[in-house]
Amino acid sequence: MILAVVLSTAGAGVHAQSIMPRAPEIAGSSYILIDATTGHVIMEQNADEALPPASLTKMMTAYIAEVEIDNGNMSYDDLAFISEKAWRTQGSKTFVDVNSRVRIEDLLRGIIIQSGNDASVAMAEHIAGSEEAFADLMNQHARALGMNDSYFVNSSGLDDDGNTNLMSARDLATLARATIVEHPTHYAMYSEREFTFNGITQPNRNTLLFRDPTVDGMKTGWTTQAGFCLVASGERDGMRLIAVVMGTASEDARVVETQKMLSYGFRFFETYRLYDAGEVINSARVWSGAESSVDLGIQEEVLITLPRGRSEDLVATLNTDDVIRGGFEAGEVMGTVEVSLEDEVLYSGDVVAIQAVERGGLLRRLIDALTLFFMGLFS
């Protein structure tokens, strides 16, 4: 049985909210914009191309540290030994002292806010014993997250004699989303505008934090090979977006191009609550049961991304068996629902029985069996 249910209709005419321009052109090697809540891709270009990520690498270094902390394997107050290798690491620095011990919380801030290469190496050595072993750990975490176009050789993103890390814009968006969704207690660090360590105060290199009050993360990167890169996240009116741009021409360009994507996404799209957890979406006839009908609904809350002003145009199609017989528990899958906007399917998921329905008595089963026989539905 296929039952089409129109959730609501926009009616005749063109609505101003449904008028939408094409996505802006972005001056970068690759880019992607996603809804952090649903994972829906709003715009992208060359998003699967593996490119040098420069210091965006440190997002994975920080992510692994956050995993280790949340799994109870280390804490903010643990002390990491600063090796000569970490101390000598060139490029941006947190200015840790050789042979000293530094709190994990300070190293994490050094990685996220100051983009410290020395802090990244120190964190890698503390967690895995060596940076080479940590790079293997980075690759394992990448595979577990489904980052199929990423490969790591170090924890900082520095070019290493031509052997460099590789990440795609899509993988960076995946990693950013995992950081925000899976480890939210650490995310506030990404919004901090400066960090002082060893008497040296350095500003956060993500200048979008100073330009746009709705932006609260995440990370910048630059090398000659990678160009200027930026992963940014912000929230407006209950919608969180993640924007990634790689290979722009300047520090200012990466900010301008990222702002274009965020402005477009926030202006023309919304995160829409399609169903509440346990919401009844329809009812179905029950044969041979103690009850003659059952409510069908969604077990968990469902959120989707759609163009603003188009919620009334959504169409839900409910698919269930031709005959539903009594003798099932609450929560048992009874079919599927598919929600589409024009020709695009925005959601497809299971529909469950909201209540349990026991088998009916012998007389009820006999009457329903005869009814189904004459209807040609008996099996």
CATH code of the domain in which 361 resides: 2.60.410.10
Together in a domain, 322 and 190: no
What local confidence, expressed as pLDDT, does residue 174 receive? Answer: 98
Catalytic annotation present for 85: no
260 is in an annotated binding site: no
What local confidence, expressed as pLDDT, does residue 114 receive? Answer: 97
Together in a domain, 165 and 73: yes
Q: Is residue 262 part of a domain?
A: no
What local confidence, expressed as pLDDT, does residue 13 receive? Answer: 37
Q: How many domains does the chain have?
A: 2
Count, residues in the chain: 379
Together in a domain, 120 and 239: yes
Instruction: Report which secondary-structure segment, H or E, holds 239.
Output: strand 239-248
Tokens of residue 143, six digits = 């595979």
Q: Is residue 66 part of a domain?
A: yes
Together in a domain, 313 and 362: yes
Where is the domain boundary, 233, 248, 263?
248
Helix/strand/coil for 238: coil
Q: Is residue 265 part of a domain?
A: no
What local confidence, expressed as pLDDT, does residue 11 receive? Answer: 39
Together in a domain, 106 and 208: yes
Q: Is residue 261 part of a domain?
A: no
Q: How far is CA 147 from CA 1, 56, 175, 217, 345, in A?
A: 39, 14, 8, 20, 24
Beta strand 79-81 pairing with 200-203: unpaired
User: Quick check: 315 and 4 in contact, CB under 8 A?
Assistant: yes
Together in a domain, 214 and 280: no
Where is the domain boundary, 248, 264, 289?
248
Together in a domain, 197 and 127: yes
What local confidence, expressed as pLDDT, does residue 87 receive? Answer: 97
Q: How far is Cα 274 from Cα 131, in angstroms, rounded to an integer?
A: 45
Together in a domain, 48 and 95: yes
Catalytic annotation present for 283: no
Of 30, 58, 92, 233, the catalytic one is 58
DSSP code per residue over 296-357: EE-SS-EEEEEETT-GGG-EEEEEE-S--BS-B-TT-EEEEEEEEETTEEEEEEEEEESS-B
What local confidence, expressed as pLDDT, does residue 379 receive? Answer: 55
Q: Is residue 257 part of a domain?
A: no
- Domain with 154, as residue range(s), is 29-248
Q: Is residue 19 part of a domain?
A: no
Domain with residue 92: its CATH number is: 3.40.710.10
Together in a domain, 6 and 83: no
Q: Is residue 284 part of a domain?
A: yes
Together in a domain, 235 and 305: no
Together in a domain, 185 and 153: yes
What local confidence, expressed as pLDDT, does residue 363 receive? Answer: 66
Of 29, 83, 92, 115, the catalytic one is 115
What local confidence, expressed as pLDDT, does residue 117 receive? Answer: 97
What local confidence, expressed as pLDDT, does residue 376 receive? Answer: 65
131-145 vs 169-182: helix axis angle to the nearest 10?
Answer: 90
What local confidence, expressed as pLDDT, does residue 18 receive? Answer: 61
Catalytic annotation present for 30: no
Together in a domain, 33 and 7: no
10-residue block means of pLDDT along the chain (379 residues)?
44 50 95 97 98 97 98 98 96 96 98 97 98 98 98 92 89 98 96 97 96 96 95 96 97 97 97 94 84 89 94 90 84 92 91 86 66 63
Q: Is residue 355 part of a domain?
A: yes
Where is the domain boundary, 248, 283, 302?
248
